[in-house]
Structure 1
Amino acid sequence: MDITLILLIIGLISIILSFFFGKSSSGHEEDIENISISLHHETNQLKKRLRAVEEELMIGVSTIAKTQPVKNKPVHEIIINQILSLHAQGYSVNEIAKRSSLANDQVLEVLKSRGATV
């Protein structure tokens, strides 16, 4: 037999076989698409659950914050100087508290600690 004839027969057999075996890849594509869709749904469900847990934690934190008293932080020296200056100018404790963003009790503590008469 001639070599070209052998190559021609092998080529035809390869083409015929590719029609039968080529369709199996479409099944794999469908499987991959189904897996991708299910993964997307599961991810969305996990995100929803995570949001719900975060909201529960935030609710828990806010109730804890409401039940526990907040301790006074130390007042910065610049704020102390501002309080003393405003007091020297004749401002009331309420006005000083508003301007310095402190509670009235904190303003009184600062004034008493620095020897100012209230």
Structure 2
Amino acid sequence: MELSTLLIIIGIICIIASFFLKDTSKKLERDVEELSLQFYQETNGIKRRLKVIEEELLLEPSFKVKPATKPITTKSENVPKQPNKPVNQILVRQVIELNKQGYPISEISKMSTLSEEQVLHILNHGGQS
């Protein structure tokens, strides 16, 4: 037998064998599709939960904070009594919660991006204007 005939026979055998062997790319494709579907579902679930949390934060009614036993005072007398612009209610709640947790005024100011005077005003007036 010649070499070319032998190669043709081997080629034909390989083609026939390929029809009987399983195609692993289909399984891999199915796995990737299932994974992407799971990812999509989890992302949608997280978005729904985040939306509920955002709605709770924005729609939660104003709450009263117990007045401090002694008002918080500043070190300098030239501090304005009322902040210049209104503060978002979410920031007010954040300031009050951080104060309840025992954070100092300077740290609360850094975390909430408000001035120390605004933080003091919020804490002295219980979040009311």
Shorter-normalised TM range: 0.3 to 0.5
Q: Select the structure with the greater relative contact order (CA < 8 A; seq sep ≥ 6).
A: 2
Larger radius of gyration, structure 1 or 2? 1
Q: Which has the higher helix share?
A: 1
TM-score by length of 1: 0.46
